[in-house]
Every structure is written in structure tokens, then in C-alpha cells.
Amino acid sequence: MAHVYVLNGPNLNRLGTREPDIYGSTTFDELAADCVATAVGLGLTATVLQTNDESELIGWLHRAQDEGAAVVLNPAAFTHYSYALRDACAMITSPLVEVHLSNPAAREEFRHTSVISAVASGTIAGFGVDSYRLGLRAVAALLAG
Ligand code: DQA
């Protein structure tokens, strides 16, 4: 069974109470459980992780590459400026789908740039928790060829 890492960047551990008008009221633990269940329904196994630390996130991407695992990545604010994260994503040879709960293109100017999108298989943004479900579906479709 193919494995997918669902990786989450800074401040996403605060989901549920963090700007709920933008990010919704689902907690991170609820989101993680939803991703695991969605993955199982797609015939995948999933590990869901969150960190506020750029270095840790890069380490997880290295691990995904070493294991040949796919990735669903919400880089959070790192999306907009982390070339180190981008370079780690560029090394991934399995599907890597960038996801966002909100639609950064409809928000502040600084969110309009993603340094990740060009090295992702694709990007899904603006659908709340559904962005992750759709991201996992995209991974399953890409793996199925
Ligand atoms: C986000 C959008 C980013 O601009 C922001 O910094 C986040 C969350 C999203 O899921 O909508 O932390 O990635």
C-alpha cells in the first residue's frame, strides 16, 4: 500500500482557534484524523505531521524522498518565501501536492507568491479541509497513473 506524508507548516497546530473566519473551526487533530480516514478510503496509508520549524519540515521531506512516499504539503507561511523548502520539494520524485485551506490568491499581496508551486505536482487552495481531501485524491490518481 502506497504511503503519503501529509506535512503541515507553522501555526497550523493552532487550527480551530486560529482566525476561524479564514481557516475554519476544525482542529488540527480533527484534520489529521480526517486525512488518515480519507487516505484509507483511497487505498493509501498516511502519516500526518505538523511543525513550526523549517528544518524539521525539510527533514520530513528528505525522509519522504528516501522512502519513496508521496506528499501532501501545506507549507503555511513558508509557502511565500522559503527557498530551502522549495529545494527540498524539488528533490521529491513521487507526487507532491501543495494544499492551502484558504485561497492565498484572494488575500494579501505577499500571499500571492508561492515559491513551492513550481516544484509541486499541483496546487489545491481555498476549500478548507476539502483541500486536503482533494489533495489526497490527486495523489491517489497520480500514483494510479
Ligand atoms: C495557508 C495560507 C498561508 O498564506 C498562511 O501563511 C498559512 C495557511 C492556508 O492553508 O491557507 O499559514 O497555507
Q: Provide the pairing of β-strand 3-8 with 122-125.
A: unpaired
Q: Which of 3, 62, 100, 132 is labelled catalytic? A: 100
Other C-beta atoms closer than 10 Å to the C-beta of 64 total 25
The model's pTM is 0.98
Sorted by sequence, the CB contacts under 8 Å of residue 119 that are 6+ apart come out as: 86, 89, 90, 92, 96
Q: What angle do CA 88, 59, 70 make, to 5 degrees?
A: 65
Residue having the nearest C-alpha atom to atom 9 of ligand 1: 100
What is the Å distance from ligand 1's center to 25 Cα?
A: 15
List all residues whose CB is within 6 A of at least one atom of ligand 1: 11, 74, 76-77, 79, 100-102, 104, 111
Query: What are the pLDDT digits (tens) for 45-67?
Result: 999 999 999 999 999 999 999 99
Name residue 81's amino acid: Y
CA distance 66 to 78: 22
For the chain, how many structural domains are there in total? 1
List the domain range (segments joined by +) for residue 50: 2-144
| pLDDT value for 112 | 98
Residue with the three cell numbers 485524491: 137
CATH of the domain at 124: 3.40.50.9100
| Active-site residue flag, 81 | no
